[in-house]
């Protein structure tokens, strides 16, 4: 499956950002992820698709070690970012998560002002030396989250008062503010209406300029629209991984074809 | 007939009605089945609903009438009987209540005498206070009277007996008629098309409403009884002194200073110290239990902490008096023999003693409520914070606590209202001296302690010194009610945010 990395369309081949080898995840006795090998490129949008419960979100949460916060969860195998094993003892998961940002399924702004929401990451990591720098970081993040124009006049209002789509873009801006290298998105549009979804998808495409973006989605149309690479998960296995165009037009595995054509899932 | 009815006691009457109910249940159940041609599937409702409907129709209205009757009967009889007693006797004997209790006592004595066969019914009705020594006659049957019986009182007692007998008989008759009418009504209703299920459903709802309104009415009753006694107090004592005066010096010869302010100061000071102890410890315990502790520690520690809430406050009071007080005296008192070599504290009872122990009592309140509130903060907020590279304590401090703050404030206010209303700990641990002082090593007194001391021992309910207890109680009630309402408002507002 790795050899499908060879690009067939106009995507410029990028260096590998995340490499996973033989990753197994257990929830207690339940073997949730079985033997996943994948290489995710830099400055590319990679989509994880698959039926519910197939392990795609679980695998996503391995990449920033969010699974560490769940007591019964155990991860084995290697995941490397830029050639460095993130499950190594030396790696501080807290530092790792600053480098690998995450956007969640449900918009989860903190019950603070819009400004404080975005400034949260930079503050705890000490990214700004003074107020002016912090203002600058917040403004840049909100602009990158494509929400600046909507909120610039009410930065001190609570983030929870925004609409669903605005909240999700605020959360993206919040994740971007810590200058991550990888952005993980766990079904970022599932709680949004079509207009907000379109705005977020447009934003994801722009974020590709700077980050490696990994997005879990239930919508195959969305995967086709925003991603260059697609991985299909089924029952904890990574069934097929390759260029999005190829997965959707000429899948190799019969299971992928069945899922795409709506026969399983 | 009257004789027979009046001899049926209330509990027997209840049993008769309930028995009728059971009879109604069984007969109406089988009647319903019969009306469906022997097949329960032809009925609108299950057969037992027809039975329950009958039992309901028989028992509920008749028992309700019985309860009301028994509540009203003494008032009606008293109003009739009291007219037989000359006015000047009432004023001599201090109050209507006292005279009436004499009347009731003699009437009961006559009843007892008749029951024991020492007197015939006619004899009891025809006694003459001048000819017979009623006191000694009653003493023979074991009823002791305080003084010789005067003619009007004896007449009243005889009238009282007569009236209660006939009213009792009337009650029994009415209740039985109502029960039978209920049976007849249910008999006419019971038919295969009758919607017994819906009627029983409405009956169940009615029962639940009665239960709920009884609880509420009791509260209203308590408030009103305090309100009336407080009004009596303010008729005897100027409200300016009560609310604005500077000293508390009750004097049972009258003319005392009865100001709430020194007591309020003591109450608030002790509560403040209690919260100073309970809030940090309770809050940190809640944070540890909800955020850091593993499931095993949590399942063991939480019940252990809640045991504190189950300890009776009198036990806390003993703990304050016998353990904490002497311990504090050892540290802060005794001059050169003490731990610190100072002599700030002379007795075991002090603001600090009561405050510390009350604080310990409040820890489980604060921790348990805060724990629930912290757990109610959505996991997605924690994930969001971890996802940005925040550590556990950063997440707690900057995301979870701010999100939970309104709820925690509510929990603290609830704890504060507990502290203000707490009695036993301060009775034993705080001392009895009412004063304004900032020294926590001195004894002070609280509103609750003073209520206890004003109402214990020989009390005269016509004096301001006793009635002040009700005014104090009412003020305390208003204070804690306001705190509770505020706390619930804050907690509810917070809940809406995340649901």
DSSP A85-141: ETTSTT--HHHHHHHEEEE-SS----SSBHHHHHHHHHHHHT--SSHHHHHHHHHHH
Residue B10 Cα to chain centre, angstroms:
26
- Compute the average pLDDT of residues B160-173: 87
Pairing relation of β-strands A100-103 and A182-186?
Answer: parallel
Least confident of B77-91, B124-138, B333-347: B124-138
Dist. CA B242–CA B256, nearest whole Å: 11
Q: Label each residue of B27-78 as H, E or C.
A: HHHHHHHHHCCCCHHHCCCCHHHHHHHHHHHHHHHHHHHHHHHHHHHHHHHH
Residue A32's nearest CA partner among A86, A70, A88, A81 is A70
Find tokens 């955020």 and name the residue. B291
Q: Measured over all CA atoms, what is the biggest interatomic distance in chain B, rounded to whole angstroms?
A: 102
Report whether A195 contacts A12 (CB < 8 A). no
**pLDDT tens by residue, B87-98:** 766 655 456 677
Whether residues A175 and B381 touch (CB distance < 8 A) is answered with: no
Whether residues A104 and B383 touch (CB distance < 8 A) is answered with: yes
Going from N- to C-terminal start, the domains of chain B cover 2-194, 243-498
In chain B, which residue's Cα lies nearest the Cα of A123?
B390
Alpha helix positions (H), B288-391: 295-310, 313-319, 325-332, 351-376, 379-387
User: From the CB of residue B119, how many other CB atoms can be counted at a distance below 10 Å?
Assistant: 22
pLDDT for the residue B436: 84
Residue B290's nearest CA partner among B386, B189, B396 is B396
What is the value of ipTM here, to two decimals? 0.84
Residues of B in contact with A61 (CB under 8 A): none
User: From the CB of residue B254, how many other CB atoms can be counted at a distance below 10 Å?
Assistant: 10
Q: Does domain A2-260 have CATH number 1.20.58.100?
A: no
| Strands lying side by side in the sheet with A73-81 | A30-41, A16-27, A73-81, A84-85
Whether residues B387 and A69 touch (CB distance < 8 A) is answered with: no
Dist. CA A141–CA A150, nearest whole Å: 13
**pLDDT tens by residue, A63-78:** 888 888 888 888 888 8
The answer on pLDDT for B280 being more than 90 is yes
The answer on pLDDT for B285 being more than 60 is yes
Mean of per-residue pLDDT scores for chain B: 84
Dist. CA A10–CA A228, nearest whole Å: 10
Residues of B in contact with A110 (CB under 8 A): 381, 384-385, 398-399, 402-403
Whether residues A66 and B399 touch (CB distance < 8 A) is answered with: no
Dist. CA B446–CA B435, nearest whole Å: 10
Local structure of residue B82 (DSSP, 8 states): G
Whether residues B389 and A178 touch (CB distance < 8 A) is answered with: yes
Residues of B in contact with A137 (CB under 8 A): none
pLDDT for the residue A2: 43
Going from N- to C-terminal start, the domains of chain A cover 2-260
pLDDT for the residue B86: 73
Local structure of residue B444 (DSSP, 8 states): -
pLDDT for the residue A230: 92
Dig out the tokens for A101 from the structure.
Answer: 């940002």
The answer on pLDDT for B274 being more than 90 is yes
Give B391 to chain A, closest Cα distance, Å.
Answer: 6
- Compute the average pLDDT of residues B376-388: 88
pLDDT for the residue B283: 93
User: From the CB of residue B245, how many other CB atoms can be counted at a distance below 10 Å?
Assistant: 18
Q: How many CA atoms lie within 13 A of B395 on its CB side?
A: 22
Residue A187's nearest CA partner among A216, A207, A226 is A216
Report whether B448 contacts B427 (CB < 8 A). yes
Give A119 to chain B, closest Cα distance, Å.
Answer: 11
Dist. CA A208–CA A214, nearest whole Å: 10
Alpha helix positions (H), chain A: 56-63, 93-99, 114-125, 131-144, 148-151, 164-176, 194-207, 220-226, 244-249, 254-260
- Compute the average pLDDT of residues B339-367: 86
Residues of A in contact with B298 (CB under 8 A): none
Which residues on neighbouring strands pair with residue A25, listed in sequence order? A33, A75
- Tell me, which fold does domain B243-498 have in CATH? MetI-like fold (1.10.3720)
pLDDT for the residue B89: 66
The answer on pLDDT for B143 being more than 80 is no
Whether residues A97 and B382 touch (CB distance < 8 A) is answered with: no
Q: B452 Cβ partners below 8 Å, 6+ apart?
A: B423, B427
Pairing relation of β-strands A73-81 and A237-243?
Answer: unpaired
Residue B100's nearest CA partner among B173, B159, B172 is B159
User: From the CB of residue A234, how many other CB atoms can be counted at a distance below 10 Å?
Assistant: 21
Residue B271's nearest CA partner among B69, B90, B426 is B426
Residue A26, classed as helix, strand or coil, is strand
pLDDT for the residue A6: 42
Give B397 to chain A, closest Cα distance, Å.
Answer: 11
Residue B308's nearest CA partner among B357, B372, B374 is B357
Angle at B381 between CA B377 and CA B382, to 5 degrees: 90
Task: Name the helix (H) or strand (E) containing A75.
Answer: strand A73-81
Residues of A in contact with B497 (CB under 8 A): 111, 160
User: From the CB of residue B296, how many other CB atoms can be counted at a distance below 10 Å?
Assistant: 8
Dist. CA B498–CA B491, nearest whole Å: 12
pLDDT for the residue B42: 84
SS3 content of chain A, % helix, strand, coil (to 5): 40, 25, 35
Residue B261's nearest CA partner among B238, B282, B241 is B241
Buried b (16+ CB within 10 A) or exposed e, B126-144: ebebeeeebbebbeebebe
Interface of A with B (CB under 8 A): 64, 66, 69, 71, 94-99, 101-104, 106, 108-112, 120-121, 124-125, 160, 171, 174-175, 178
Dist. CA B410–CA B489, nearest whole Å: 8
Residue A70, classed as helix, strand or coil, is coil
Dist. CA B178–CA B65, nearest whole Å: 9
CA distances from A197 to A80, A190, A191, B124 (A): 31, 8, 9, 96
Whether residues A110 and B294 touch (CB distance < 8 A) is answered with: no
pLDDT for the residue B439: 83
Q: Which positions of chain A have pLDDT values less than 70?
A: 1-13, 264-265
- Compute the average pLDDT of residues B247-252: 79
The answer on pLDDT for B497 being more than 50 is yes
Residues of A in contact with B376 (CB under 8 A): none
Nearest to B388 among A71, A112, A121 (CB): A121
Angle at B199 between CA B195 and CA B200, to 5 degrees: 115
Measured in degrees and rounded to the nearest 5, phi and psi for residue A87 equal -95, 10
**pLDDT tens by residue, B193-244:** 888 889 999 999 998 999 999 999 999 999 998 898 889 888 888 888 888 8
Confidence of residue B499 (pLDDT cuts 50, 70, 90): very low
Give B400 to chain A, closest Cα distance, Å.
Answer: 9
Dig out the tokens for B27 from the structure.
Answer: 């007969």
Dist. CA A257–CA A254, nearest whole Å: 5
The beta-strand segments (E) located in B64-166 are none
Residue B260's nearest CA partner among B446, B444, B461, B442 is B446
Report whether A211 contacts A184 (CB < 8 A). no
- Compute the average pLDDT of residues B75-89: 78
Burial bucket for residue A221 (CB in 10 Å: 0-12, 13-18, 19+): exposed
- Compute the average pLDDT of residues B279-292: 92
The answer on pLDDT for B3 being more than 70 is no
Residue B244's nearest CA partner among B271, B224, B269, B262 is B262
pLDDT for the residue B396: 92
Q: B485 Cβ partners below 8 Å, 6+ apart?
A: none
Report whether B409 contacts B483 (CB < 8 A). no
Whether residues A98 and B388 touch (CB distance < 8 A) is answered with: yes
pLDDT for the residue B146: 66
């Amino acid at each position: 499956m790795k050899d499908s990395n060879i690009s067939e369309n106009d995507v410029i081949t990028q260096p590998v950002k995340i490499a996973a080898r033989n990753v197994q995840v257990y929830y207690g006795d339940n073997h949730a992820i079985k033997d996943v090998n994948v290489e995710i490129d830099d400055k590319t949008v990679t989509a994880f698709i698959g039926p519910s419960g197939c392990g795609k979100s679980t695998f996503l949460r391995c990449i920033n070690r969010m699974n560490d916060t769940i007591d019964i969860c155990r991860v084995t195998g290697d995941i490397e970012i830029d050639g460095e094993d993130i499950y190594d003892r030396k790696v501080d998961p807290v530092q790792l998560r600053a480098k690998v940002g995450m956007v969640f399924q449900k918009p989860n702004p903190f019950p603070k002002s819009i400004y404080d929401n975005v400034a949260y990451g930079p503050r705890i990591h000490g990214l700004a030396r003074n107020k002016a720098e912090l203002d600058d970081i917040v403004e840049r993040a909100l602009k990158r989250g494509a929400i600046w124009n909507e909120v610039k006049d009410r930065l001190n209002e609570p983030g929870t008062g925004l609409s669903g789509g605005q909240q999700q873009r605020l959360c993206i801006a919040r994740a971007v503010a810590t200058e991550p290298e990888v952005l993980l998105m766990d079904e970022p549009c599932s709680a949004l209406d079509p207009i907000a979804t379109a705005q977020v998808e447009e934003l994801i495409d722009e974020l590709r300029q700077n980050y490696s973006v990994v997005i879990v989605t239930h919508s195959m149309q969305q995967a086709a629209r925003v991603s260059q690479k697609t991985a299909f998960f089924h029952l904890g296995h990574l069934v097929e991984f390759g260029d999005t165009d190829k997965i959707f037009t000429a899948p190799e595995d019969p299971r992928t074809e069945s899922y795409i054509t709506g026969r399983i899932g | 007939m009257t004789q027979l009815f009046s001899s049926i006691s209330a509990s027997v009457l209840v049993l008769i009605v309930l028995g009728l109910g059971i009879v109604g249940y069984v007969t109406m159940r089988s009647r319903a089945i019969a009306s469906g041609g022997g097949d329960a599937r032809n009925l609108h409702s299950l057969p037992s609903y027809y039975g329950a409907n009958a039992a309901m129709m028989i028992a509920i209205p008749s028992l309700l009438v019985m309860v009301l009757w028994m509540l009203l009967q003494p008032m009606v009889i008293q109003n009739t009987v009291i007219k037989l007693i000359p006015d000047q006797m009432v004023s001599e004997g201090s109050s209507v209540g006292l005279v009436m209790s004499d009347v009731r006592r003699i009437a009961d004595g006559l009843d007892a005498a008749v029951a024991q066969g020492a007197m015939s019914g006619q004899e009891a009705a025809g006694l003459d206070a001048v000819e017979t020594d009623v006191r000694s006659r009653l003493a023979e049957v074991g009823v002791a009277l305080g003084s010789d019986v005067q003619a009007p009182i004896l007449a009243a007692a005889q009238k009282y007996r007569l009236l209660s007998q006939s009213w009792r008989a009337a009650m029994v008759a009415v209740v039985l008629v109502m029960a039978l009418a209920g049976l007849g009504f249910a008999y006419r209703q019971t038919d295969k098309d009758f919607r017994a299920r819906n009627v029983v459903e409405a009956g169940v709802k009615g029962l639940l409403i009665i239960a709920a309104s009884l609880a509420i009415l009791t509260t209203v009753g308590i408030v009103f009884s305090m309100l009336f006694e407080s009004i009596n107090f303010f008729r005897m004592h100027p409200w300016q002194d009560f609310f604005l005066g500077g000293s508390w010096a009750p004097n049972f010869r009258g003319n005392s200073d009865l100001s709430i302010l020194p007591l309020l100061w003591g109450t608030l000071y002790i509560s403040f110290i209690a919260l100073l102890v309970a809030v940090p410890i309770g809050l940190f315990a809640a944070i540890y239990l909800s955020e850091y502790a593993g499931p095993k520690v949590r399942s063991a520690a939480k019940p252990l902490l809640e045991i504190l809430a189950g300890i009776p406050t009198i036990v806390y009071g003993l703990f304050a008096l016998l353990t904490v007080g002497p311990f504090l005296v050892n540290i802060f008192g005794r001059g050169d023999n003490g731990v610190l070599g100072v002599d700030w504290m002379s007795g075991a009872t002090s603001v600090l003693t009561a405050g510390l122990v009350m604080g310990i009592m409040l820890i489980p309140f604060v921790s348990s409520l805060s724990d629930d509130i912290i757990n109610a903060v959505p996991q997605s907020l924690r994930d969001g914070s971890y996802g940005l590279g925040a550590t556990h304590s950063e997440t707690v401090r900057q995301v979870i606590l701010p999100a939970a703050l309104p709820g925690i404030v509510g929990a603290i206010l609830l704890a504060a209202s507990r502290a203000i209303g707490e009695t036993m700990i301060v009775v034993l641990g705080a001392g009895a001296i009412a004063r304004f002082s900032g020294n926590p090593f001195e004894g002070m007194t609280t509103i609750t302690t003073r209520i206890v001391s004003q109402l214990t021992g020989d009390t005269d309910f016509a004096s301001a010194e006793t009635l002040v207890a009700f005014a104090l109680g009412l003020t305390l009630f208003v204070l804690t009610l306001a705190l509770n309402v505020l706390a619930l408002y804050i907690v509810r507002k917070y809940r809406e945010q995340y649901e």
